[in-house]
Structure 1
Amino acid sequence: MNIALFGYGRMGKMIEQIAINRNHTIVAKIDADTKEIDFSNIDVAIDFSLPDAAFSNIEKCINNNTPIISGTTGWLNRYDEAVTLCKQKQGAFIYASNFSLGVNIFFELNSYLAKMMKSLEQYNVTMEEIHHTKKLDAPSGTAITLAEGVLEHSKHKGWQLNNADENHIPIVAKRIPEVPGTHTVSYNSKVDSIDITHTAHNREGFALGAVIAAEWIVGKTGVFSMKDVLELN
């Protein structure tokens, strides 16, 4: 499989190594200085670029009939545009706030726990995410996905970063050097607490999941998620 990488930072380099180990070929490494892209030799693209470049990268791929996997966060105000374009052009597109296989199982666990806690109003839900200091957006896309999973089963109106009122789920974002990503969802009452946590030990899980998603999407048409890739629906 011929893969193009949009963004060649730490994640891009790790994806490259995993892809090569799985017998794929990296045929393009695209960054902000890239003027022209030859899509004729690209089977699938993987985007781990910057928030202000993500939509443009997705748009280019869909317009050139190239399936694209996007793991860039911080651009979701244009997600609906990407979905509309993908459907119009009969393209193939997956966005995930986190491609780690373990995190996507964690998403399912979070939703299941939220469903069980729905009627227990004595518990207050809070969230915490910890990442490395180079992460640009806060809260993380993963934390937002977790919050959305809880909101489906709660009376909260939404989430707020750090200081939240009683109608919103508080998400505390911390930035500590060399932390790949830790996410905790907590339910606290006067008598006890329930916590679920996912801790990434390195970034390899994110990169592996993105490559697996790229392998899965080739030959398909539509807008998908990691639930589809992992058959969690």
Structure 2
Amino acid sequence: MKIALLGYGKMGKTIEAIALSRGHEIVIKTSEALNSEITAADIAIDFSIPEAAFTNISNCINHNIPVISGTTGWLDNYNKIVSLCEEKKGAFIYASNFSLGVNIFFELNKTLAKMMSSLKDYNVDIEEIHHTQKLDAPSGTAISLAEDIIENHNNFTSWKLDGNKDNVLPITAKRIENVPGTHNITYKSEVDTIEINHIAHNRQGFALGAVIAAEWLHGKTGVYTMKDVLNIG
């Protein structure tokens, strides 16, 4: 495939290396929104910034270029993208995290939340740790984990960064140098603690998942998720 990389920071460069190793060609590398030149690509991978993501994704769909996005912080406009994709018969995947391991972790998180929903003595919290260059807090992955807990657990109606109110699921966000990404889910009572976590050792897992998602999406139409790519859940 001919791939356009929209966002050419550390993640973009890692995606480039993996895509090349899998026989693909990188035809565009940019951090700015593009117009008709996007048609040089067979597919686009967007890891840009929140301010550019909506324009990047819209431009791809308007030019009939399948696009996957791992950019977080723009999801207030997600439904607009879904509507545009359906109108233009385009192809789109958004994931807060493309790591294959994280997407399995998402399913474990949902299952545990269902199992724990009737046990009222356990307090639940989420902690995420990322590198100091990460712009958004909490991470998109932590938000996805929180939303899945809220959907599958009876005790919560919303989440909040550093929250501590009843029926509000607290998320703690830490920024530490050279941490690719760690997510901890903790259920704690007076008698014991149950914890599941995912610890990324480098960016390779995120980048590989993005390339695999692009390979899967090529030639399709519709709006999908990583659950479709991995056939899980």
- TM range, smaller chain: over 0.9
Name the SS of the counterpart of 2:152 in structure 1: coil
Of 145-154 and 58-67, deviating more is: 145-154
Name the SS of the counterpart of 1:38 in structure 2: helix
Q: Which residue identity lines up with residue 166 of structure 2 in the other structure?
A: E
Aligned to 1:114: 113
Q: Say if 2:7 is the partner of 1:3.
A: no
Q: Distance in 1 between matches of 2:119 and 2:49?
A: 40
For 1:97-145, what per-residue CA distance to the aligned partner results, in whole angstroms no more than 9, with x for missing partners? 0000000000000000001001111111101000000000000000000
Q: Which residue identity lines up with residue 18 of structure 1 in the other structure?
A: I
CA contact (8 A) 2:35 2:59 kept: no
Aligned to 1:177: 177
Q: Distance in 1 between matches of 2:132 and 2:185?
A: 21
Aligned to 1:208: 208
Name the SS of the counterpart of 1:152 in structure 2: helix
Paired residues in the alignment total: 232
Aligned to 1:102: 101
Of 205-214 and 23-32, deviating more is: 23-32
CA contact (8 A) 2:184 2:198 kept: yes
TM-score normalised by the chain length of structure 1? 0.97
Aligned to 1:226: 226
What CA RMSD, in Å, does the superposition of the two structures yield over aligned residues? 1.0
Alignment of 1:116-135 (within 5 A): 116-135=115-134
Aligned to 2:168: 168
Give the percent of matched residue pairs that are identical in Structure 1 and Structure 2.
63
Alignment of 1:8-27 (within 5 A): 8-27=8-27
Q: Distance in 2 between matches of 1:36 and 1:102?
A: 34
Q: Distance in 2 between matches of 1:97 and 1:40?
A: 26
Displacement after TM superposition at 1:40 (Å): 3.0
Runs of 4+ aligned residues of structure 1 deviating over 2 Å after TM superposition are 34-37
Aligned to 2:148: 149
Aligned to 1:73: 72
Q: Distance in 1 between matches of 2:226 and 2:66?
A: 15
Structure 2, unpaired ranges of 5+: none
For 1:45-68, what per-residue CA distance to the aligned partner results, in whole angstroms no more than 9, with x for missing partners? 000000110010000000000000
For 1:181-200, what per-residue CA distance to the aligned partner results, in whole angstroms no more than 9, with x for missing partners? 00000001110000001000
Structure 1, unpaired ranges of 5+: none
For 1:139-169, what per-residue CA distance to the aligned partner results, in whole angstroms no more than 9, with x for missing partners? 0000000001101122311100013311100
Q: Which residue identity lines up with residue 77 of structure 1 in the other structure?
A: D
TM-score normalised by the chain length of structure 2? 0.97
